Structure 1
Amino acid sequence: MNQLGINLLVFKNDLDNGIEQGKILSNIGNLGVAIAEIRREYLKKSNEELKEISRLAKELNIEIYYSVPEKIACEKRINSNIKVYFEEAKQLGSTHIKFNIGDLENLDLDEMKKLEDIINYFNIKVTIENDQTPENGNLKCVTNAINFINTNSLSIGYTFDLGNWYWQKEDPKNAFDILKSNITVFHLKNVDFLNDNLNTTLLSKGKIDWKSMINKLPKDVPVIIEYPIKEEEILDEIAQIKEVLTH
C-alpha cells in the first residue's frame, strides 16, 4: 500500500494564525498518516524549532518531508542557498526535500557535479515539483526538466502535483499519462471553479478523477494530501483516500 502523508498546508488556517508547525505536528499523531511535509515558508528556522519537530516526529513515528518553495537552480547555477536548505532538512530529520524546477536544465557539468555532491553528502532524497507558475508548472518545462534529469542520471525525483495543472490550463490526466513513470511522490488535491475562480476543494467535489490515477501509481510512491481542509473534515478526506489505497 502507498504511504499516506499530510502536507501541513492542510492546516493553513492554523499556519496563517501563527501556530507553529511543531504544535500542529503534535496533534496529527492520531490521523493515521506516515508522513508529514513541513513547509519552509512557515518556519521561524531557529535550531530549536527544527530540532523540536525532529524530536516530535520520532516520538510519533512520522517521517518528515521538507517543502522548500525555492528554485533548485537559478541563472544556470545551483541555488546559492541550497546548502542552507539541506542543513535545515538535516536538522528536521527529513528524508526528502522538494524544490521548484528553476533553471535546472541549463546546468553545465560542473554545476551538476556540485549538486550531486551535495545530494550525496546529505543523503536526503530530492524532488522537483510542477507548481502553479508558467516557468515551473507547464507540461513542457516539467517534461524538459525530467528529460534532463534522466539523460544526466541525476539523483532527483519528481513530485507530481495533481491540482496544479489546472493553474496552467493543462489536462492533469494527460500530464499523468505522460509523466507517471517518473513520479516518485504524488501530491493530492482536487479543484473546482467558484465564481469563475479556480480553487482547491474537497476530493468528492472537484473536477479531477483522482481515484483512477492513484490506482495506477506504483505502491512505493507516497500520496501526500496538500490542500487546506477544515478540521472537522480531515478524517473523512483521509478515509476516502485510504479506501482507494487499500483496494
Structure 2
Amino acid sequence: MTDAVDVVIVASAFGMDAVRQGGHLKWAGASKQAGAAAFEVRRELFAHEADVAPQALSALGKSIAGLGLWSVYSTPASLYTSDGHLDAGALRLALDEATAFGARFVKLQLGGFATEAHGAAIADHLRGASVRLVVENGQLAEGGSLAQFIGLFDALAREGHTDLLGMTFDIGNWAWRDVAPLDAAGPLAAHVEYIHCKTAVGEGARRFPAAPAVGDTQFAAVLDTLPRHVPRGIEFPFDTNRIDADAAHYVTWLAAA
C-alpha cells in the first residue's frame, strides 16, 4: 500500500460565490472536516480589500492553523510582466501578504517570462522569507506554455539559482493550451512541489474544470510521473448538493491515488 500524501482543498472548489459570502475560514473548517491536511486561500475571493490587510491576514492564518491545517496563499498576479521583466512589485506584495498570513507556499502565475529569469533579483526578495515561492501553469498563452516553463528552469540553472522556486503543476490547465499533461509532466517533474488536481471538459474556450473520472488512466499516469511526496490540491468544483460528502470522498481518494 502506498503512503498517503497531503491533500489541500483549494477554496474555489466550494464555489467562488460561497467563499466570498461565507469567508475563507468557514470553508477551511469544512476542509478540515473532510480530512484535508491544508487549505488554499485565493486572494481574488476575499470580499473586501480590508481582508488582505496584514492584521486581517494574520488573524485568518492563525485561525486556519488553529484548525490543524497548513496553508497556501494564492494570488492571480504574475511573476513576470508581459515584456519579460520581473514584476518586483507583484512579487513583493505577494510575499508580504503570504508572510502575514503564515502560508507554507505562495503561488503566482508565471506571466510573460521570456529568456531571462532575473534570479538574483528574485533571490533578493526571497532572502529571509519563510514562505516557498511556486509558479503555476495558467490557461492563457502567456504563462501557460510548456516551452516557457522549460525555459524558466533552464534559465534559473544558467543563472546559478536552481532551487530558487518551484512549480505548481496544474494538470487540467494544460488542456487550455492543447498540451497533453503527460507530455509536460516528464520534463517538469523535477521542479514540481505542488499539484493542482483537475481535468477539463468541453472544447475551446468553453472548457470547464472537472473532477477526474473513475478509471481516468491518463490522470493516473500523470500522478505516477510527478513526485509522489508533494501535496495535491483539489481544484475542481464539488457537487453543491453534497459538498461535505464530495469533499471527504475526494480527499480520501486523492490521498491514496
1:126 is paired with a residue whose SS is: strand
Of residues 108, 121, 125 in structure 2, which corresponds to 1:118?
125
1:175 is paired with a residue whose SS is: helix
Change beyond 3 A, Cα 1:208–1:120: farther
Structure 1: runs of 5+ lacking an equivalent? none
1:27 is paired with a residue whose SS is: helix
Q: Please tell me whether the aligned partners of residues 192 and 205 of structure 1 are also in contact (alpha carbons under 8 angstroms).
A: no
Q: How far apart are 1:88 and its partner, in Å?
A: 0.8
Deviations 1:2-43, CA, capped at 9 Å, x for gaps = 211111110224446533212322332211111111111122
Equivalent residue, structure 2, for 1:235: 245
Q: Please tell me whether the aligned partners of residues 190 and 206 of structure 1 are also in contact (alpha carbons under 8 angstroms).
A: no
Equivalent residue, structure 2, for 1:34: 37
Q: How far apart are 1:114 and its partner, in Å?
A: 2.6
Change beyond 3 A, Cα 1:39–1:208: farther
Deviations 1:53-105, CA, capped at 9 Å, x for gaps = 21212211111111111111224233323222211101111111111112445
Change beyond 3 A, Cα 1:177–1:21: same
Q: How far apart are 1:206 and its partner, in Å?
A: 9.8
Equivalent residue, structure 2, for 1:150: 157
Q: Please tell me whether the aligned partners of residues 7 and 254 of structure 2 are also in contact (alpha carbons under 8 angstroms).
A: no
One-letter identity of the residue aligned with 1:242: T
TM-score (norm 2): 0.84
Equivalent residue, structure 2, for 1:178: 187
Structure 2: runs of 5+ lacking an equivalent? none
Equivalent residue, structure 2, for 1:81: 90
Equivalent residue, structure 2, for 1:94: 103
Give RMSD over aligned pairs: 2.6
Equivalent residue, structure 1, for 2:8: 5
Change beyond 3 A, Cα 1:9–1:222: same
Within 2, Cα distance between the matches of 1:34 and 1:144? Answer: 32
Q: How far apart are 1:48 and its partner, in Å?
A: 4.1
Change beyond 3 A, Cα 1:162–1:31: same
Q: How many residues align?
A: 245
Deviations 1:140-183, CA, capped at 9 Å, x for gaps = 12221222233332411011100001111111121122222221
Equivalent residue, structure 2, for 1:70: 77
Q: Please tell me whether the aligned partners of residues 176 and 204 of structure 2 are also in contact (alpha carbons under 8 angstroms).
A: no
TM-score (norm 1): 0.87
**Identical counterparts, % of pairs:** 20
One-letter identity of the residue aligned with 1:61: G
Equivalent residue, structure 2, for 1:210: 219
Equivalent residue, structure 1, for 2:21: 18
